[in-house]
């Protein structure tokens, strides 16, 4: 393949397009080792700096994985959760043909602090339910679910076996969602969270904060923490405007 220096598309982007094209066409299946920087420099007749930038950006975008001392490989696809939909993580994982399992750290009754009281429509010091659960995909942690629940809306929460059904599934039965609010941000996990998610020091997380209501009554407020290198959040929205 020859690139076009005079094109409006920068050379590094042309290199990225070439690599992605090979992956999408099936020429380079997942976990295939891609040519080295020197090989791509010779093959595409561009500078090593250009190739290095293309590989760096494709790695950040999730197309490639760079393994120190071994080279660069086509990355397996990351699980994706819909932001616009409120979905059951167990169903998402099983839909990919993988095994879902949970580690229940605790499910207990607590007194509401100011923050939880505000989100759940309670008075400070009132009773709420609090659960902390690790969700695993094929044995690997993909989500730390830190959830607070309004007992008035889900009175049997503490009696549920969350190794059999998820909190999401129980809450959808007990208090069907009529409204939800999501906030997504990149954060650094605490040392305890990093340990629970089996992450290395310095690795970031994707945090999804979710609040739900049923019949205008607050039901739950949750922090859903995902390892940044194993998970991505996305969604698609179709508007009601004219269609071509």
Three-state DSSP at 240 gives coil
Same domain, 170 and 132: yes
pLDDT tier, 229 (very low <50, low <70, confident <90, very high otherwise): confident
Residues 114-132 have pLDDT tens digits of 778 888 999 988 999 999 9
Structural domain count, the chain:
2
pLDDT of 136 strictly over 80:
yes
Domain CATH number, residue 146: 3.40.1410.10
Same domain, 102 and 200: yes
Same domain, 86 and 178: yes
Position 241 in a domain:
no
Same domain, 190 and 113: yes
Q: Of all helices (H) and strands (E), which one includes residue 55? A: helix 48-60
Q: What is the distance between the terminal CA atoms of the chain, rounded to a whole angstrom? A: 36
Position 5 in a domain:
no
Same domain, 214 and 159: yes
Tracing tokens 């340990």 back to the chain, one arrives at 195
The answer to whether the predicted template modeling score (pTM) of the entire model surpasses 0.95 is no
**Domain range enclosing 65:** 11-74
Residues 90-113 have pLDDT tens digits of 888 888 889 999 999 999 999 988
Position 3 in a domain:
no
Position 243 in a domain:
no
Length of the chain: 244
Domain boundary among 74, 96, 124: 74
Q: Burial level of 218, CB count in 10 A (0-12/13-18/19+)? A: buried
Residues 19-48 have pLDDT tens digits of 988 887 789 998 899 999 999 999 999 999
Residues 74-93 have pLDDT tens digits of 988 666 555 456 678 888 88
């Amino acid at each position: 393949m020859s690139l076009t220096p005079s094109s409006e598309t920068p050379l590094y982007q042309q290199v990225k397009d070439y690599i992605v094209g090979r992956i999408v066409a099936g020429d380079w299946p997942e976990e295939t080792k891609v040519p080295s920087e020197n090989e791509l420099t010779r093959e595409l007749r561009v500078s090593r700096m250009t190739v290095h930038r293309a590989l760096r950006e494709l790695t950040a975008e999730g197309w490639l994985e760079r393994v120190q001392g071994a080279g660069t490989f086509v990355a397996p696809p990351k699980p994706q959760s819909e932001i616009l939909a409120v979905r059951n993580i167990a169903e998402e994982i099983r839909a990919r043909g993988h095994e879902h399992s949970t580690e229940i750290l605790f499910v207990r009754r607590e007194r509401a602090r100011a923050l939880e009281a505000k989100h759940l429509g309670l008075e400070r010091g009132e009773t709420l339910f609090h659960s902390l659960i690790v969700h695993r995909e094929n044995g690997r942690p993909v989500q730390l679910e830190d959830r607070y629940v309004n007992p008035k809306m889900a009175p049997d929460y503490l009696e549920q076996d969350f190794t059999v059904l998820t909190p999401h599934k129980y809450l959808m039965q007990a208090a069907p969602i009529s409204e939800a609010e999501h906030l997504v941000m990149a954060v650094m996990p605490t040392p305890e969270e990093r340990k629970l998610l089996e992450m290395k020091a310095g690795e970031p997380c994707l945090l999804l904060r979710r609040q739900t209501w049923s019949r205008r009554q607050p039901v739950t407020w949750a922090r859903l923490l995902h390892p940044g290198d194993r998970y991505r959040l996305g969604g698609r929205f179709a508007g009601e405007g004219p269609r071509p």
